[in-house]
Copies of this chain bind each other. A is one copy, B any other.
Amino acid sequence: MVAGGAAPPRRPRAGDPDAEELAVHESDADVVVLGAGPAGEVAAGRLGEAGLDVVLIEPRLVGGECSYYGCMPSKALVRPVELLDEVARVPGVRELLSGTIDPQVVLDRRDEVIHELDDDAQLPWLEERDVRLVRGHGRLAGELVVEVLEDADAERPAERITARRAVLLATGSRPAIPPVPGLADACGWTNREATTAETVPGQLVVVGGGPIGAELALAWSSLGAEVTLLEGSPRLLVKEEQYAGEQVAAGLRAHGVDVRVGARIASASRDGERVAVTLEDGEVIAGDELLVATGRHPNSDGLGLDSVGVAADEHGFVATDDALRVGGRDWLYAVGDLNGRALLTHQGKRQARVAADRILGYATAALGEHEPDGLTSPRVTFTEPQVAAVGHTLASAREAGIDARAIDVASDGNAGASFVGKGAGGTTRFVIDPAAGVLVGATFVGAGVAEQLHAATIAVAGRVPLDVLDQAVPAFPTRNEVWLRLAEKRPRD
């Protein structure tokens, strides 16, 4: 185990005329990681555990967008209503319940989950792995060289770190506001405010019917807000199976959300305490707050990419190969949202493990040929019903040239669903490639289906033959018996 911690700074040489001017703290490390979100943390931790001397640079909170402004608080906000729905389906328990959710209790619990926006709790994990944390804005300043600035606008760096092995970029993404007239000014909430707000708006207008918009619409509605959800496409969750977006829309409506699909926005404005969104058809939707959840922008600006002859793509993403290397360089990696493969925490963490392994000398470490990635990554939307999917939808499989076939089954049409998620509805779809004899995708829509996803992820990633899937018997009475439909309907020899 190599000793961790910072190497002694290289002092400017005595007699150097620029010594005072150049009094930049100089240091070195095996690996420098930029960004301490989930991907950066996993990479730094894995490298540190392996005995490497690692520096991790973060301008904001260790733990990243996901921990404070994303997955974690949104799940904290939505979990109570999900559980209440289940209670309402179970005689013996539902009779014991009275009243409605106290928003303050839920917001307090959310504050606990996000540690009151304090990252102290994250630090011991890094310390145990001998990762040196540097707070500041990191940028490339040449091959294997990283400068740390107090903030992105600082005139000169406070520290210059030379990496012996590699630099790993994991700077993540930030909310993007689409160029609709007035929208940027009217928008009071992005995911950051919508996950950390301390009061419940009376009327909330949500622009964007993807996973973030849908989850937060449900969450704030459950806390008492009157929510309108606007989506320009003909359905919610446009990247998922068509029925998934429709079933989520129905679920949101049943929870009191006014869901408008095909609602294209012409402009937005804010007038004191009120916001207004004007649709292309002229209708005006007014509210007390406006959440824009329409997409993300990668944090690639100010990264110093040009200093090493690398450029981001037109969307700002930093492309990589399957070993997560940037521009074929063996010393430069990009993982997580920054590379644009899949803006999902778990995919960023997976990429971090691969990149770390590569840096550690596992020469074949790379994303697998059949590994779910990009749009086929495993993904879960925590609405009521939930949507958990991996691999292809039927449409994306056919676009990919697969002569795919869908096998549909009611998610709650089995004995297991007599007890959990009873009558909650939702459809499970298996997408198979009959020619190859494998599952290429699965979508589960229903109550609490998130944990059912991993079985499909293994089947898809492992390209487990359909006749072997028959031998994987779902236990009775669990809702995993949806898999029996494959055994019944798959093509046989």
Contact = CB atoms under 8 A, between A and B. Distances in A.
Contacts of A476: 38, 66, 71, 344-346, 349
Nearest to A89: B83
Interface in A37-95: 38, 46, 66, 71-72, 75-76, 79-80, 83-84, 86-87, 90-93, 95
A428 to B, nearest CB: 12
Interface string A475-488: 11111110110011
Given A362-B492, A454-B452, A76 B377 contact: no
A160 B181 CA distance: 83
Nearest to A71: B477
Interface stretch (A132-140, A234-242, A364-372): A364-372
A121 interface: no
Interface stretch (A103-111, A201-209, A244-252, A266-274): A103-111
Given A101-B96, A453-B480, A418 B113 contact: yes
Given A87-B87, A91-B105, A473-B346, A454 B468 contact: no
A471 B372 CA distance: 7
A102 interface: yes
A93 B84 contact: yes
Contacts of A418: 72, 75-76, 113
B472 A419 contact: no
A471 B367 contact: yes
Contacts of A481: 346
Contact of A462 (B71, B95, B469): B469
A261 interface: no
Contacts of A71: 415, 476-477
Given A90-B80, A105-B92, A378 B38 contact: no
B79 A419 contact: yes
A130 B333 CA distance: 63
Contact of A478 (B90, B453, B459, B470): B453
Given A346-B474, A462-B462, 9 more contacts: A76-B419, A80-B93, A84-B93, A92-B106, A96-B97, A378-B474, A454-B480, A461-B468, A461-B471
26 contacts: A91-B105, A92-B101, A92-B105, A92-B109, A96-B97, A96-B98, A96-B99, A96-B100, A345-B476, A345-B477, A347-B473, A349-B476, A349-B484, A350-B473, A362-B493, A364-B493, A450-B475, A452-B454, A453-B480, A454-B472, A455-B457, A455-B458, A459-B462, A461-B469, A461-B472, A462-B468
